[in-house]
Structure 1
Amino acid sequence: MKLKVLNAQSIFDISVQYMGNVESAIELAILNNLSITDNLKPASEIIKEQSGKEFREVVDYLKKYNQQPATALTADLEKPVNNPTGIGYMIIQQNFKVG
């Protein structure tokens, strides 16, 4: 079966959407000659074989509520933060006031 990749989907998203678990991501990656960390192109096709490892409850739930996981980082989300904030970047008596 051929599956179409949506925008911002990773191999893990495809695995959850069509197989109901993330463990099948490795099988999908091997079958399609991909790495599990590859950035997938929208509208590209992934080949999926039938396996007994599918969790139909998860697949049916996602289909029933028209949910399509898309959690991959996109180029705009990978940009570094210009002015990082938070306790890890604060300096006592400069921008972190005690007392």
Structure 2
Amino acid sequence: MKPRVIYNQNLLDIAIQEYGTPYAVFDLAIVNGLGITDDLEEGIILELAKNSFEENEAADYYKKKQIRPATATKITVNQSLGGIGIMNITNTFIIG
């Protein structure tokens, strides 16, 4: 069964949910044409990667308990506020 993305899920959540390991995130990204840090739209259906990760106790536990982790945070930065988030640090930056 292909996973349907719920609100605030990312590929790492799906990897843990489906395979019980974060290492599967790379295979999921490749098979779905995504970057591992891409924001996922709620409701899209992802292809599962055929990989060498066997379903283990963690994946079985998530499926049995119907646990669907959703740990993504979508933060928007107000560029007009300034601050360290938009500063250009060059080789002359000195921390005292």
TM-score, with length taken from structure 2: 0.71
TM-score, with length taken from structure 1: 0.69
The equivalent residue for 2:30 is 30
Q: Percent of aligned pairs with the same residue?
A: 35
Counterpart contact for 2:27–2:49, Cα < 8 Å: no
Structure 2 gap ranges (5+): 78-96
The equivalent residue for 2:5 is 5
Give the letter aligned to residue 17 of structure 2.
Q
- Pair 1:15-2:15 in alignment: yes
User: What do residues 62-84 of structure 1 show as CA deviations (whole Å, max 9, x unaligned)?
Assistant: 1222211100003xxx256xxxx
Q: Distance in 2 between matches of 1:57 and 1:3?
A: 19
User: 1:3: Cα distance to partner?
Assistant: 1.8
Counterpart contact for 1:21–1:54, Cα < 8 Å: no
Counterpart contact for 2:6–2:70, Cα < 8 Å: yes
- Higher Cα radius of gyration: 1
Q: Distance in 2 between matches of 1:44 and 1:16?
A: 18
The equivalent residue for 2:42 is 42
Higher strand share: 1
Counterpart contact for 1:15–1:25, Cα < 8 Å: yes
C-alpha RMSD of the superposition: 1.9
Give the letter aligned to residue 42 of structure 1.
E
Give the letter aligned to residue 51 of structure 1.
N
Q: Distance in 2 between matches of 1:49 and 1:27?
A: 6
The equivalent residue for 1:51 is 51
